[in-house]
Structure 1
Amino acid sequence: MQITAATQADAEEISVILGEIEHYYGGSPEPADLEQVRRLLGSNRPAADVLLARDGDRVLGLASYSLLWPAAGADTSLYLKELFVREDARRRGVAGALMAELRAVATGLGYSRVEWTADRDNPAALAFYAALGTEPHTGKVFYRSTL
């Protein structure tokens, strides 16, 4: 397995995986809007960076993240927005490899932490994060404002 940074050439595959993520959470399995994925990946100010876990030509999973500053205490933070492993690739170390690469990216940039959220009704994700030795942070309340 290799972990690589996604490029414009990966837009179609990312579009399909985003549809799989939506389906996992109860939505439609349709691929995400390909033009939007291309635009967001290739802009001068990308909406996120994406890491892909690959086995040869097959993409097994992805991690999308953004860099945040200032984080609490004027520190820097790599914020994991989405971690997803395709169903037939789960329990094979893919998520762990993606998390390790995220930590390496953050460390390489001199960032002070990696942060993420998880749905309370996703016991598999919660167990995975607990197995990494991380504890839930209870100091924040999550808000969302729809535009």
Structure 2
Amino acid sequence: MPVTIRPAGQGDILAVADLIEEIERFYGSVEIQPMDERRTQIEQALFGSPPLAAALLVVEANGDIAGMAAYSFLWPARGTTHSLFLKELYVRETLRQQGVGAQLMAELRKVAAARPGCSRVEWMTDRSNPAARNFYRSLGFAEFEGKIIYRIDASKA
């Protein structure tokens, strides 16, 4: 099935909110953020001043949003350059194994290459997610060892 990949626009907020709920359920979450709160946060994150993030959307021929790559730029990366950090890559199950994820990754590389001073694309996946790890390896990407991730809830900071 042919798809289009394009940047998210303000008219996509509701569809992105629905997709994020699907992503949360995919990862096993049972506590889903209320829709109004989710929509407000998406609008602030993607279209606030300044925006916190950006997203590429997978759009099916019928106009349905069927996937997303959410990313931000981080500084510094190498020297004084910055990197495109992929936070979330998700494609609906109906489109998996059809090259859509590879298309998203290729578009992300184009976004990074077109941005002056962006030296690399970086992302993470869980060690316990063999499907994602296999996907990235199938695209020729190597896994790096050595980083340990720390996280604290903002309310406890």
Regarding TM over 0.5, the answer is yes
Q: Does 1:67 find its partner at 2:69?
A: no
Q: Does 1:46 find its partner at 2:48?
A: no
Tell me which stretches of 4 or more aligned residues in structure 1 moved more than 4 Å.
Answer: 29-32
2-side partners of 1:88 and 1:114: how far apart?
27
2-side partners of 1:29 and 1:20: how far apart?
12
Query: How much has 1:29 moved relative to structure 2?
Result: 8.0
Q: Please tell me whether the aligned partners of residues 8 and 56 of structure 2 are also in contact (alpha carbons under 8 angstroms).
A: yes
Classify the secondary structure of the residue corresponding to 1:27. coil
Query: How much has 1:74 moved relative to structure 2?
Result: 2.7
Distance 1:76 1:137, change over 3 A: same
RMSD: 1.5
Segment drifting more, 110-119 vs 34-43 = 34-43
2-side partners of 1:69 and 1:35: how far apart?
26
2-side partners of 1:29 and 1:9: how far apart?
26
Query: How much has 1:75 moved relative to structure 2?
Result: 2.6
2-side partners of 1:4 and 1:144: how far apart?
31
Query: How much has 1:72 moved relative to structure 2?
Result: 3.8
Q: Which runs of 5+ in 2 are unaligned?
A: none
2-side partners of 1:74 and 1:42: how far apart?
26
Q: Which runs of 5+ in 1 are unaligned?
A: none
Segment drifting more, 96-105 vs 137-146 = 137-146
- Percent of pairs with identical residues: 43
Classify the secondary structure of the residue corresponding to 2:79. helix
Q: Does 1:15 find its partner at 2:17?
A: yes
